[in-house]
Amino acid sequence: MDKRSLSIAGHRTSIALEPEFWAALEVMAAQSGQTMTALICAIDAERQTANLSSATRLAVLRWYQARAAAQTVPEIS
């Protein structure tokens, strides 16, 4: 588990995720032209679960499911 701190809406928070999820978030952010913080802020704004780490994992899962459906899944390095 890797824990990272960031600011969301002016408040410091931290998220603990497995390295594979951090790598996936980097791919997602790069492909959307966002910083990772901006991406996580967007996930936070749209989440339907109380836990930001869980919401982030679900967002990564949904993103890859959409790519798999389109058969354009980028590899995580």
pLDDT at 72: 57
CA 19 to chain CA mean position, Å: 12
How far apart (Å, rounded) are the C-alpha atoms in residues 33 and 12?
23
pLDDT at 36: 94
Q: What is the pTM of this model?
A: 0.85
> Residue 31, SS3?
helix
CB 15 within 8 A of CB 52: yes
- Domain boundaries in the chain? 2-70
How far apart (Å, rounded) are the C-alpha atoms in residues 71 and 17?
26
**Which residues of the chain have a pLDDT value below 50?**
none
How far apart (Å, rounded) are the C-alpha atoms in residues 77 and 37?
20
